[in-house]
Amino acid sequence: MSLSVNSQIFLDANFILIPATLNVDIYKQLEINFHKPFKLVVLSAIFTELEEKIRKYPLKNKLKQEYKLCREILEQQSYTLIQCERQHPGKLVDDLLLDYALNSFKDGNDVYIATNDKELRRKCRNRNIKVIFVRQRKFLDIE
């Protein structure tokens, strides 16, 4: 599978955690399977969401360790960070992610959202946004 020069892959929180949770090198697989050039995009709200979960559930040390490891792995990649936060407490970060992806799509980019979240995948399908996800706990695929 080949992505165009204007390909943007928006990373969801659960996708960023995959190297620790499923032991899958998602960045290597993206390079191998989807042939560069593509641009990884992360919303700052994704980091905020993960950090809020860590503070909310302090006894879940595993999440804190997974986040730290995966953040270090992500920092070794070339990616674009978009500074944005939820404007309303009730608004889901997934909806914010979808909004940014749709705007990028309208600007003529080839857009993908990388997530394993079933609800977000359904929302993407309904809006014709392609999704990169992990199949069989080890392979990346597109729907």
What pLDDT is recorded for position 31? 87
What pLDDT is recorded for position 109? 85
| Residues 17, 5: Cα–Cα separation, whole Å | 26
What pLDDT is recorded for position 63? 84
What pLDDT is recorded for position 101? 94
Residue 13 · residue 51 · CB < 8 Å: no
What pLDDT is recorded for position 89? 66
Residue type present at position 90? G
The full set of domains in the chain, from first to last, is: 7-142 (3.40.50.1010)
What pLDDT is recorded for position 5? 54
What pLDDT is recorded for position 76? 92
The closest of 3, 17, 12, 2 to 101, measured between CA atoms, is 12
> Which residues in the chain show pLDDT less than 50?
2
| Residues 65, 96: Cα–Cα separation, whole Å | 26
What pLDDT is recorded for position 90? 64
Strand ranges, E, within 6-129:
7-11, 39-43, 79-82, 110-114
